[in-house]
Structure 1
Amino acid sequence: MMQFELTKDFLETLNLAVEVNNESKVLELIDGLQSADIAEIIDEQTLEEAIAFYQFFSQEQAADILIELDEGARERILNSLSSEEIAKQFIDNMDSDDAADVLAEMSDEKKNEVISHLEDFEQASDIVDLLSYEEDTAGGLMAKELFKVDINWDIKTCINELRIQSQDIEQVYTVYVVDDKNILQGIVSLKRLLLTPDNKKIKDIYNDNIISVKANVKDEEVGNIMDKYDLVVVPVVDEIGRLLGRITIDDVVEVIKEEAEKDYQMASGISENVESSDSVWLLTRARLPWLFIGLFGGILGARVIGNYEHELQLHPEMAIFIPLIAAMAGNVGVQSSAIVVQGLANNSLGLDGLWSKLLKELGVALINGVVLSSLIFGYCFFFEASTALSLTVSIALLSVIIFAALFGTIVPLLLNKYKVDPALATGPFITTVNDIFGLFLYFLIGHLMYL
């Protein structure tokens, strides 16, 4: 099946069919579309159009589509419904992890109202349990729906039990083996269960080599574990090893995507998670803080230049290379910090200590600095015909590259050590600091050279 591409003509045709309640035309247009495709359509509709469109789906389909919607579109639809309608039409038809994610976006009052309307007490209990975990932990990611068997059961009992459990579970990832206290012992594959004689015990065929995570582990670490061991699903246990739930790869992919978007926005100087469709006020609020920092940095840079106003009057040729020094300082710092942040994100930095990382970055900076400084020295010497200017610019550039590289390396490492998101170091902060210090070095070296 080809990937669905939403067009304006398609949307207009669909909205017209929905408006006149032409069911056959609507079903023809959406035939073969996945939940994510339908969600893309609803994201572009008005609230009235979306609510009318929803009437053409079963409750199970509507629940799947709701999960795929952008947060803003989902909020608009849920705000138009009563707590009882949300419970009956959506939450009752969701897996526990998806239901908890949707409820977590609501106010405490509405959340409690929706839960009170759930008829399945076990489902309500599972959702309340999931909501008790921090959103960015394994407990906040996991789902309660899973297949599990007792280690002391025989194969026949297990298969009968799995038939019962399958009534509430759509997909089989693996079958977990627990003891009488629900402590995770291992896993057993469906193939092994089907090929083993009925009188055999689970304890004779299960695999006890299993990787699990505790409920309080951060979601990024869960992603790293699943990536490292190439896992499609990972069980979640409590402090004493009792099986609580499972996390699937699609949940982790969503976390990785959100984290990448957040890091990209932070590196771009955006302090909140925003979309292009958000309000002007929200977009302004997300951008303005780092612009203030950039403005403050620009003022400091101007003060540095102002302090050497006399030197510029005597040697105005120095002004030509101010943009070059500032730009190179910012670029080198961002490069160094980006590599460190990437390494911290995917655990690829290894076991080397701070000093070894700084020495390595110093070596890279020296090579880059010597090459670029030699080039700018040659340019200044032949085109500007000034030995003092050539030495000033080339030495300043070498010094700036070394400082920016070391500063760009150490800042994210220190931020990570003190539990601050190191992605902060890839944004305007690192660029602004390097710009200011680069200008200071340039004029200091120029002052010494022209004495």
Structure 2
Amino acid sequence: MQFQLTDDYIAQIEQLIANKDGDALRQQLEEFHFADIAEILEELDSEEATYLIKLLESDITSEALIELDEDIREKILERLSPKEIAAELEEMDTDDAVDVMGELHEDIQKQVIKEIEDTEHVADIVELLKYEEDTAGALMAKELVRVKETWTVAGCVREMRRQAKNVTRVHSIYVVNKEGKLTGRLSLKDLLTAGEKAHISDVFIPKVDYVTVHTENEEVARIMQKYDLEAIPVVDENGVLVGRITIDDIVDFIKEEADRDYQLAAGISEDVEADDSMRKIIRARLPWLILALVGGFVSVTVLGTFSDAIADHAALFFFVPLIAAMAGNVGVQSSAIVMQGLANKTLRDPLMKRLFKEVVLSLFNGFVLSLLLIAAGTIIMGLDFKFGLTIAISLTSVIISASLIGTLVPIILDRMGIDPAMATGPFITTSNDICGILIYFTIAKLILGF
């Protein structure tokens, strides 16, 4: 039966914690999955959550810690001693341990490292901490099963049993030469059907997809998605096998990237949560709001230069929000499509071909929308032909302009090494508002003659 967290159950857990009834808590939680325990921890305050972490076995709590939101985990870690943190890290795979270590102050990191008894585990953690963030080296785990191509099948099986004790999930078996360089992968089926005296060099598959320690995470995700991989090996500059990245690592990365891009598109400049401090939230949101304010002021200034036209043709004023809204919507649509193409590496068309395609698409959309707008305006507002023509041409021109801006800006930002997700936020909307209003009144002036 699936675990269901209720307010009554949380109240029961809180009461047991208040009573320091450790035996009852262990009995309550011993059969729970670590993800369920993580869900419970997130509903408790940091002091109560820390009590549970100290109470339960590290093989359970270490997994639960990884499932927690970073801010909640950070508050719990602040209440644990270096020795207690070390006990949790010893139960984690190296990639997870590095994620946790990265959240600690440098002084605490040194103290925790001294408390970890497994010297090999410590060495692996220290090695992974040296790699740049957002690279395969920082994302990979050291735990894997590797076999040498010179081994016999019987010797290989014995060695695999030994290595598998330290690997949570065996996704693949990698084959290396005597220098440790990756040479291929081993099919379990081929291993089981081969004779015991056969050598691995006779049965392994030499073709294997891999990445280097310096490959960016986005590229790792693209390769794993393209070839439908559950895991991918990581090699160093010399081709030596040093780790592996599994699909759950990539899913976490993709989720984090999606959350970050969503916030950038909404005009939030850094990763924030609803329960973060006011100072952090203001720092993330205010700069973009200031940009939007400046853009809005420019729009008002542009609109002010056509005050005489509005006085003579008051109906023009009523269509300003519509023109601005259409410009913003089209711009966001275009930038979203380009963003998706850049992220998936599917944007292969030359720039001019992409722009021509946007113009043709905008002409069609503008024509259809203009017809609908003229029909509605004529029936409801009684617009004359000349005014309707002004609105139709303006709307089509604004749609073309917005689509070109929405296409160009992400591409330019990407080529400049700037995250193109910024283009889908207030920047695109504000730019298109200003351009839309300017185009609208310029065309109106040409046709209506004011």
Q: TM-score, normalised by structure 2?
A: 0.96
- Hey, what's the Cα distance between the residues in 2 that align with 1:258 and 1:293? 25
Residue 410 of structure 1 corresponds to which residue in structure 2? 408
- Hey, what's the Cα distance between the residues in 2 that align with 1:292 and 1:29? 51
Question: Residue 190 of structure 1: which of 169, 188, 191 is its match?
Answer: 188
1:21 Cα offset (Å): 3.7
Say whether residues 1:359 and 2:356 are aligned partners: yes
Question: Residue 367 of structure 2: which of 370, 375, 390 is its match?
Answer: 370
Q: Percent identity?
A: 46
1:28 Cα offset (Å): 5.3
Say whether residues 1:57 and 2:39 are aligned partners: no
Residue 263 of structure 2 corresponds to which residue in structure 1? 265
Counterpart of 2:295 in 1: which secondary structure? helix
Residue 320 of structure 2 corresponds to which residue in structure 1? 322
1:347 Cα offset (Å): 2.2
1:3-33 Cα distance to aligned partner (Å, 9 max, x none) = x343222211111123224456434543643
Please identify, of 38-47 and 132-141, the stretch whose mean Cα deviation from structure 2 is larger. Answer: 38-47
- Hey, what's the Cα distance between the residues in 2 that align with 1:246 and 1:256? 17
Change (3 A) 1:77 1:277: same
Please identify, of 362-371 and 190-199, the stretch whose mean Cα deviation from structure 2 is larger. Answer: 190-199
- Hey, what's the Cα distance between the residues in 2 that align with 1:433 and 1:28? 60
Is the contact between residue 333 and residue 407 of structure 1 (CA under 8 Å) also seen in structure 2? yes
1:145 Cα offset (Å): 0.6
Say whether residues 1:176 and 2:174 are aligned partners: yes
Residue 6 of structure 1 corresponds to which residue in structure 2? 5
Counterpart of 2:80 in 1: which secondary structure? coil
Letter in 1 for 2:196: D
Residue 379 of structure 1 corresponds to which residue in structure 2? 376
Is the contact between residue 47 and residue 76 of structure 2 (CA under 8 Å) also seen in structure 1? no
Question: Residue 274 of structure 1: which of 258, 267, 272 is its match?
Answer: 272
Change (3 A) 1:33 1:346: farther
Residue 101 of structure 2 corresponds to which residue in structure 1? 103
Map residues 339-354 of structure 1 onto 2, 5 A cutoff. Answer: 339-349=337-347, 351-354=348-351
Map residues 195-274 of structure 1 onto 2, 5 A cutoff. Answer: 195-274=193-272
1:348 Cα offset (Å): 2.6
Is the contact between residue 380 and residue 386 of structure 1 (CA under 8 Å) also seen in structure 2? no
Q: TM-score, normalised by structure 1?
A: 0.96
1:80 Cα offset (Å): 1.2
Residue 164 of structure 2 corresponds to which residue in structure 1? 166
- Hey, what's the Cα distance between the residues in 1 that align with 2:174 and 2:136? 18
1:266-312 Cα distance to aligned partner (Å, 9 max, x none) = 11111111111212222222111111111011000000111111111
Unaligned segments of structure 1, at least 5 residues: none
Please identify, of 387-396 and 180-189, the stretch whose mean Cα deviation from structure 2 is larger. Answer: 387-396
- Hey, what's the Cα distance between the residues in 2 that align with 1:415 and 1:66? 37
Say whether residues 1:42 and 2:27 are aligned partners: no
1:298-339 Cα distance to aligned partner (Å, 9 max, x none) = 000000111111111121111110100000000000001001
- Hey, what's the Cα distance between the residues in 2 that align with 1:29 and 1:394? 68
1:340 Cα offset (Å): 0.8
1:201 Cα offset (Å): 0.3
- Hey, what's the Cα distance between the residues in 2 that align with 1:248 and 1:274? 27
Letter in 1 for 2:352: W
Is the contact between residue 331 and residue 432 of structure 2 (CA under 8 Å) also seen in structure 1? yes
Question: Residue 134 of structure 1: which of 132, 135, 139 is its match?
Answer: 132
1:204 Cα offset (Å): 0.3
- Hey, what's the Cα distance between the residues in 2 that align with 1:172 and 1:194? 16
1:333-359 Cα distance to aligned partner (Å, 9 max, x none) = 00010011111112232x311111111
- Hey, what's the Cα distance between the residues in 1 that align with 2:74 and 2:67? 12
Counterpart of 1:244 in 2: which secondary structure? strand
Q: CA RMSD in A?
A: 1.5
Question: Residue 312 of structure 1: which of 310, 313, 316 is its match?
Answer: 310
Unaligned segments of structure 2, at least 5 residues: none
1:377 Cα offset (Å): 2.3
1:136-167 Cα distance to aligned partner (Å, 9 max, x none) = 11111100011111111111211221222123
Counterpart of 2:146 in 1: which secondary structure? strand
- Hey, what's the Cα distance between the residues in 1 that align with 2:217 and 2:183? 23
Is the contact between residue 137 and residue 219 of structure 1 (CA under 8 Å) also seen in structure 2? yes
Is the contact between residue 380 and residue 389 of structure 1 (CA under 8 Å) also seen in structure 2? no
- Hey, what's the Cα distance between the residues in 1 that align with 2:249 and 2:397? 46
Counterpart of 1:168 in 2: which secondary structure? coil
- Hey, what's the Cα distance between the residues in 2 that align with 1:331 and 1:30? 50
Say whether residues 1:15 and 2:25 are aligned partners: no
- Hey, what's the Cα distance between the residues in 1 that align with 2:398 and 2:353? 21
Counterpart of 1:199 in 2: which secondary structure? coil
Letter in 2 for 1:104: G
1:70-108 Cα distance to aligned partner (Å, 9 max, x none) = 111111111112222211x21111111111111111122
- Hey, what's the Cα distance between the residues in 2 that align with 1:112 and 1:147? 29
Residue 119 of structure 1 corresponds to which residue in structure 2? 117
Is the contact between residue 151 and residue 201 of structure 1 (CA under 8 Å) also seen in structure 2? yes
- Hey, what's the Cα distance between the residues in 1 that align with 2:116 and 2:25? 31
1:193 Cα offset (Å): 2.3
- Hey, what's the Cα distance between the residues in 1 that align with 2:158 and 2:78? 43
Letter in 2 for 1:41: I
Please identify, of 191-200 and 151-160, the stretch whose mean Cα deviation from structure 2 is larger. Answer: 191-200
